[in-house]
Amino acid sequence: MSQASAAQTLNGAQIILRMLELHGVQHVFGLPGETTIGWYKEWKSNSNIEFVLTRDERTASYAAESYAKITGRPCVLEAPSPGVTHCTPGITEAYLSSVPIIYFSSDIPINQDKKHGLTGVDQTALYQSICKESFVFTNAGEIPFLMRRAFRVATSGRPAPVHIRVPINIFGEEALVNDLYAEPEYQFYPAHRPVADHSKIRQAIDILLKAKKPVIVCGQGGLISKASEILLELAELLQIPVGTTTPGKGTIPENHPLALRVIGGRGGMEYSNSYVHDADTVFFVGTNTDSAATDHWKLYGDPMTKTFLHLDIAEAHVGNNFPLAVGMVGDARASLEYMVEILKTEHPKLQRDTVDLNPIKVEALNKVFNSNIEMPAGTVSPVKLTQALDKILPANAIVTSEPGVSAIYPSALLTIKEAGRRYITNYSMGALGYSVPAGLGASYASDGPVISFTGDGSFGFVIGDMETIKRSGKNVTIILTRNDTFGWIRGEAILLDDVDEPWSTDFGAVDYIKLAEAFGFQTARITSADEIESVLSAAIEHEGASFIEMMVPSQDKIVPFVPSWVRAAKAKNLPYFE
């Protein structure tokens, strides 16, 4: 695209909209306010970009994060000055998850906050710590330059949000502009694919060839880089098993013979965690080796007894928590492509013993699926829920989940059969209230059905946006795994802190079915395991909004796949899954 355009006089709102169109933006998530009226007036008259109106800025921010994950494009979020603080949960999750969001927050005129103008706060200072950059439009003429910069910064290197503060007067201010153009490569991420140092890649190859029991551990950086195909090719060439973190679930098909599935402290099963613990060489790809993925850094045992390799686009992540034999800074897909090229060229007759993990995976899954652990009265097994969903889930479906019962079972037991972003979680920050708005974002990013697992603790944060989902007309099914408590906190307190009865975790019962019906959802309540499959099928086949409630045991009653909890359950003689 030419970097020159005919000079024309436009106001700030028109320039912003034109620049968004040039960057291929199709949806914007947000909420109106007095400080955005000038933008909306031009939007209605001059742009076909779809505005997704939510009922809460937090919902909009999580929806934008999910949308960006699935589309591979930076998502645009906007909020007015009164709600500017409400977007911090989604922006924080996106920042920690390396997800690009272009976040516009409108504002009262610059320095009016010094007069104590209503809604005035230093927005730039607020967002600098959770965005790659935060800047202010001070005049309409600079908008094209700064918006190109915003997309470039958000999508390059380690992707992350960029915050743009727009004083209310900028929307109506006119400017003569002749630089209305976009840089096409920044419409997607990652925009650039730097290859790690070639000599270090060769060192890594030598170590992997000599390793006796190597393993690859892939985080969501593999999904961000769209490295699934080349990662699987490398794994097959070297016959190295691949485990993923929970956010990296689906980087390779989980029914592949080399797929270990999820490892770590949030959905890793005993067989997969034991395998990586016993490995002599661990190759980290696109993971920041955080506490959740490593069972608080205990997963690999004594780090001095094994060899670690690490490839990541973020230099701050490489070698951050484990001593490295080789650290490589570069794009996962591009660097692995070079690694495979070397292997094929320089080791054309490479022969490796075949590894097939499917028998031990099937055995471990069947042990859980066929377990006869008795559920507390009035509850249904979340294992059976995931088992049934796994059986009927369409290939084009997207599943969203969040910390708690709603995530821990599908993270461990759901099988992602085709590589890609089909399972979305927020295990970078882990705040409640994520899954339902993530489902909303996913529904605008994909044509398939969306299934959102949520717990009643989380659901209380986002009930208002049931109206948004219904209004959207999208095929979204909310599955509420209900136990009338903040179950994760309850489980942590009882299992690890030896609290007899946690203080301030339980809350009152709500008739969620009536609530969902009031919003116009198709509803169902599962009261026994034999109802699950038919209820799920009916919801997924329904073209509109569906809501399913199922009572489940809290985490202190039936202990799920959390290694530290399972160790405590064994000591306390409590029922558990591993």
> What are the pLDDT digits (tens) for 140-195?
999 999 999 999 999 999 999 999 999 999 999 999 999 999 999 999 999 999 99
Strands 398-400 and 450-455: parallel
Residues 6+ apart with CB under 8 A from 562: 265, 266, 408, 491, 555
- Strands (E) across 150-271 are located at 162-167, 174-177, 214-218, 242-244, 259-262
Q: Rounded to an integer, what distance in angstroms lies between the CA atom of residue 38 and that of residue 36?
A: 5
All domains of the chain in start order, with CATH: 8-187 (3.40.50.970), 198-358 (3.40.50.1220), 371-572 (3.40.50.970)
- 434-462 mean pLDDT: 96
Whether omega before 167 lies within 30 degrees of 0, making that bond cis, reads: no
Amino acid making up residue 205? I
Residue 196, class by beta-carbon neighbours within 10 Å (0-12 exposed, 13-18 middle, 19+ buried)? Answer: buried
Nearest to 100 by CA among 176, 215, 23: 23
Task: Write out the two tokens for 347.
Answer: 């080791």
Helix (H, G, I), strand (E, B) or coil at 478: strand
Lowest mean pLDDT of 3-12, 275-284, 348-357, 548-557, name the range. Answer: 3-12
pLDDT at position 1 over 50 = no
Cα 139 to its chain centre, rounded Å, is 35
Residues 6+ apart with CB under 8 A from 492: 565
pLDDT more than 90, % of the chain:
89
Measured CA distances, 109 to 87, 121, 128, 414, 475 (Å): 20, 11, 20, 50, 41
**pLDDT band for position 113 (50/70/90)?**
confident
What are the φ and ψ backbone dihedral angles of 181, each rounded to 5 degrees?
-150, 160
| R_g over Cα of the chain | 24
Residues 6+ apart with CB under 8 A from 348: none
Helix (H, G, I), strand (E, B) or coil at 312: strand
Nearest to 76 by CA among 59, 60, 96: 60
pLDDT at position 336 over 90 = yes
pLDDT tens digit sequence for 395-413: 999 999 998 888 899 999 9
Per the CB < 8 A criterion, the answer to whether 435 and 406 are in contact is: yes
Per the CB < 8 A criterion, the answer to whether 551 and 379 are in contact is: yes
